[in-house]
């Protein structure tokens, strides 16, 4: 990206940062949904889920 002009470089940098944030948010949302979906199941070899005080109740 060093060969591009400063305006294009700034635009691409902002795009990349926003894309990373959106990906992280989507990943957290998918993890939360999967956790909520499988809360009632008992899987052999895994301890029972504990309430996480950091997550808001839904």
Structure confidence by residue, pLDDT tens digits, 9-27? 889 999 999 999 999 999 9
5 compared with 52, residue with greater pLDDT: 5
pLDDT bin (cut points 50, 70, 90) of residue 3 is: low
- Token reading at 51: 């309430």
Contact between 12 and 1 (Cβ < 8 Å): yes
Helix %, strand %, coil % of the chain (to 5): 55, 0, 45
pLDDT given for residue 43 in this prediction: 72
């Amino acid at each position: 990206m060093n060969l591009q002009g400063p305006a294009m470089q700034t635009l691409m940098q902002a795009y990349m940062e926003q894309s990373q944030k959106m990906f992280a948010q989507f990943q957290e949302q998918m993890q939360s949904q999967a956790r909520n979906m499988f809360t009632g199941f008992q899987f052999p070899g895994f301890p029972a889920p504990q309430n996480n005080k950091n997550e808001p109740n839904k």
